């Protein structure tokens, strides 16, 4: 009995050994609020540092997932024609690789040829500019053509223009290896996401409460469909830009109209800097033929860009994504300022998703109240 009593009293003694147990914290207590706030801030800072350290990997994952969602409508189209999803993914992969191979065969050799021609004829082109009264007057005041001629002559003589532009042999190697690694990573991740997108969405939908799972799934599927529509719209915009450049080169009598059209098609798909790259290449190729046609090509390209940015893109986005033109422009500007290239790529589909959620969730609840 004594043993039993001692065993019964030992938990009480151990409980009171460190003092009396206090009352539970009230959620309105300042200490509770401060502790939870400090813990949340610490977690947020840790997550921000983790994302910053893995930002490049995160960007590659986001781009790959975006491409997978963008290509999903084409895969679903092939599935409706009787193909399995695995076979449809293989067909899409083959189509993309075929386009890359065709692009490499038709575009890269003319660009290299025109670049060599431009570099070798650069001193003569500068002399033609110096013979122009307007450029000669500006050169007399600032001497920029004389400085440019000296540098170009040195580059042509040494044959180190490309190495100088990219910071030497090591710079060229870093650019090539970094680009190849990023492209291969995006290709592999996109292939995986395309093959497993239904399984990924199914697992994500199971996290939602059962009472709201069906509605969340329908809205999420609509958002994925809008991303695919956005990619299709971007392809259409890029095709129009390529068609314009091809016709412009034919009108001006410039070579490689088809190759430059394909190049502009690819550049137009790159957000933020794509058209700057395209304009520079088009202008250089035209300048290699004559300064006058180079200037005409530059002015025409800039004029088309204004038409595309303020007329073509807003109308296409409004028709296909039900986004007002002003929202498209604001979303692109905000996304670019926040996340750069990735923000420019994701801004419009995110805006479309937000508008869909507002239309389907926020406004109906507001009307019920």
pLDDT band at 299 (very low <50, low <70, confident <90, very high): very high
pLDDT band at 251 (very low <50, low <70, confident <90, very high): very high
Residue 365 lies in a domain: yes
Q: Is the pLDDT of residue 65 over 80?
A: yes
Question: What range defines the domain where residue 315 resides?
Answer: 214-369
Q: Is the pLDDT of residue 244 over 90?
A: yes
Residue 346 lies in a domain: yes
pLDDT band at 282 (very low <50, low <70, confident <90, very high): confident
Task: Answer whether 245's CB lies under 8 Å from 260's CB.
Answer: yes
Residue 305 lies in a domain: yes
Quote the pLDDT of residue 165.
52
Residue 179 lies in a domain: no
Alpha carbons 328 and 319: distance in angstroms, whole number: 12
Quote the pLDDT of residue 147.
78
What percent of the chain has a predicted confidence (pLDDT) above 70? 80
Model confidence pLDDT, tens digit, residues 158-208: 555 555 555 545 555 676 677 788 888 888 999 999 989 889 888 988 888
Alpha carbons 309 and 322: distance in angstroms, whole number: 17
Alpha carbons 129 and 124: distance in angstroms, whole number: 9
Q: What average pLDDT does this structure show over 279-291?
A: 82
Residue 325 lies in a domain: yes
Quote the pLDDT of residue 272.
67
Quote the pLDDT of residue 52.
66
Quote the pLDDT of residue 145.
72
Residue 49 lies in a domain: no
Q: Is the pLDDT of residue 300 over 90?
A: yes
Residue 291 lies in a domain: yes
What percent of the chain has a predicted confidence (pLDDT) above 90? 10
Model confidence pLDDT, tens digit, residues 107-137: 778 777 766 676 677 677 777 777 777 777 7
Which of the residue ranges 33-37, 75-79, 98-102 would you say has the lowest mean pLDDT?
Answer: 33-37
Residue 216: both structure tokens together = 């969340």
Quote the pLDDT of residue 250.
92
Model confidence pLDDT, tens digit, residues 16-60: 566 666 666 666 666 666 777 788 888 888 877 776 666 778 778
Neighbours of 15 (CB within 10 A): 11
pTM exceeding the 0.75 threshold for the entire prediction: no
Mean of all residue pLDDT scores within the chain: 79
- Cα 138 to Cα 130, 152, 283: the distances in Å are 9, 19, 21
Burial of 24 (0-12, 13-18, 19+ CB in 10 A): exposed
DSSP line for 245-258: HHHHHHHHT-S-HH
Residue 363 lies in a domain: yes
Task: Answer whether 235's CB lies under 8 Å from 265's CB.
Answer: no
Domains: count for the chain:
1
pLDDT band at 279 (very low <50, low <70, confident <90, very high): confident
Neighbours of 311 (CB within 10 A): 11
């Amino acid at each position: 009995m004594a043993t039993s009593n001692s065993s019964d009293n030992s938990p009480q003694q151990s409980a009171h050994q460190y003092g009396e147990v206090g009352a539970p914290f009230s959620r309105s207590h300042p200490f509770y609020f401060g502790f939870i706030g400090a813990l949340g801030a610490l977690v947020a800072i840790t997550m921000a540092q983790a994302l910053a350290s893995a930002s490049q990997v995160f960007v590659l994952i986001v781009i790959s997932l975006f491409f997978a969602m963008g290509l999903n409508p084409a895969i679903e189209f092939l599935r409706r024609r009787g193909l399995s999803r695995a076979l449809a993914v293989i067909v899409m992969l083959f189509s993309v690789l075929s386009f890359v191979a065709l692009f490499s065969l038709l575009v890269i050799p003319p660009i290299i040829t025109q670049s060599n021609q431009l570099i070798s004829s650069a001193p003569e082109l500068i002399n033609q500019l110096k013979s122009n009264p307007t450029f000669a007057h500006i050169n007399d005041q600032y001497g920029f053509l004389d400085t440019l001629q000296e540098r170009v002559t040195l580059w042509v003589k040494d044959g180190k223009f490309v190495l100088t532009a990219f910071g030497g042999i090591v710079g060229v190697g870093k650019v090539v290896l970094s680009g190849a690694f990023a492209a291969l990573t995006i290709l592999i991740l996109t292939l995986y996401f395309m093959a497993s997108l239904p399984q990924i969405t199914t697992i994500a939908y199971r996290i939602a409460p059962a009472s709201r799972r069906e509605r969340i799934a329908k809205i999420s599927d609509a958002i994925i469909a809008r991303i695919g529509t956005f990619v299709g719209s971007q392809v259409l915009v890029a095709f129009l830009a390529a068609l314009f450049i091809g016709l412009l080169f034919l009108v001006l009598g410039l070579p490689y109209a088809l190759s430059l059209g394909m190049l502009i098609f690819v550049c137009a798909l790159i957000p933020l800097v794509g058209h700057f790259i395209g304009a520079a290449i088009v202008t250089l190729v035209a300048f290699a033929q004559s300064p006058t046609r180079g200037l005409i090509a530059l002015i025409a390209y800039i004029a088309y860009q204004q038409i595309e940015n303020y007329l073509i893109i807003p109308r296409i986005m409004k028709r296909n994504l039900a986004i007002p033109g002003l929202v498209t422009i604001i979303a692109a500007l905000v996304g670019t300022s926040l996340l750069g290239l990735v923000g420019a790529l994701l801004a419009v589909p995110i805006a479309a998703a937000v508008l869909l959620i507002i239309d389907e969730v926020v406004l109906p609840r507001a009307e019920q109240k």
